[in-house]
Amino acid sequence: MRIDILTVLPKLLESPFGDSILKRAREKGLVEIGIHNIRDYATGKHKSVDDYAFGGGAGMVMMVEPLAAAIEDLKSKRKYDEVIYMSPDGEMLDQKMANQYSLKKNLLILCGHYKGVDERIRQHFITKEISIGNYVLSGGELAAAVFCDAVIRLLPGVLNDETSALSDSFQDDLLAPPVYTRPAVFRGMKVPDILLSGNTPEVEQWRHDEAVKRTKEKRPGLMKKDE
């Protein structure tokens, strides 16, 4: 899989892709990430990427020319399954969407800033808008990092067996069960006996029961109708 990201703040994306699981996924060649500075496509003396909104009002708007030039340049090099704009207006990201996007080959993500991008970019180039929640971030970079993390960790080989994405919360519309590690007793609080029993089928049954209990308590809306 390859993901290209267009941003005015490339440094903001260095750390999420330069650490831990995403770093390893890149090193193993399981995902290629291209981070592109929109300013490199700006022309004119000041290399501006934003301008005042027609009609007035507070806030700058990301200009159509540098964005169009950037998107067209990247599209001339490969065919993208989707051109995504990270925006609070978009479809809300969930696990099902992350699963679907993990099957794609090439994605192009545009991170917005200021008051948003010139509407003509959305009309002519964007094929999907994705939101990570009902709140407004200062820009799309952190949202893009969240989206990419949720997708990339699902690619085969990114996680090892013990941390397999199949046992994640949400993967079967259930939250994850409680987990414990040593010591077996901490300030009088004991780890459930079943987890120390070595009886794998019973441990699995306990985990499932706890996952159902936790989901009913904390996120009843997630449960499938037949559960």
Closer residue to ligand ADE (CB): 62 or 159 = 62
Cβ contacts of residue 226 below 8 Å, gap of 6+? Answer: none
Q: Which range of residues in 9-17, 34-42, 136-144, 202-210 is near ligand ADE by CB under 6 A?
A: 136-144
Which position among 87, 102, 106, 215 is part of the footprint of ligand ADE (CB under 6 A)?
87
d(CA 80, CA 74): 9
- When CB distances to ligand ADE are compared, the closest residue is 143
User: By rule CB under 6 A, what string of x and - marks binding of each residue 96-115 to ligand ADE?
Assistant: ----------------x---
d(CA 117, CA 66): 11
Nearest distance from C-beta of residue 112 to ligand ADE, angstroms? 6
d(CA 142, CA 11): 11
Contacts with ligand ADE by CB under 6 A: the residue count is 12
Closer residue to ligand ADE (CB): 42 or 111 = 111
| Residue 136 binds ligand ADE, judged by CB under 6 A | yes
d(CA 169, CA 164): 11
Would you say 184 and 190 are in contact if contact means Cβ atoms under 8 Å apart?
yes
Nearest distance from C-beta of residue 34 to ligand ADE, angstroms? 19
d(CA 6, CA 72): 12
| Radius of gyration of the chain measured on its C-alpha atoms | 22
The tokens describing 41, both together, are: 């496509």
- In terms of Cα–Cα distance, which of 149, 164, 41 is closest to 93? 149
| Residue 131 binds ligand ADE, judged by CB under 6 A | yes
d(CA 29, CA 17): 13
| Residue 7 binds ligand ADE, judged by CB under 6 A | no
User: By rule CB under 6 A, what string of x and - marks binding of each residue 44-83 to ligand ADE?
Assistant: ----------------------------------------
| The residue to which tokens 């010591």 are assigned | 183
Closer residue to ligand ADE (CB): 9 or 86 = 86
| Residue 140 binds ligand ADE, judged by CB under 6 A | yes
What backbone torsions phi and psi does residue 101 show, to the nearest 5 degrees?
Answer: -70, -25
| Residue 174 binds ligand ADE, judged by CB under 6 A | no
Q: Which range of residues in 42-50, 53-61, 71-79, 128-136 is near ligand ADE by CB under 6 A?
A: 128-136
d(CA 214, CA 75): 45
Give contact residues for ligand ADE (rule: CB under 6 A).
Answer: 86-88, 112, 131-133, 135-137, 140, 143
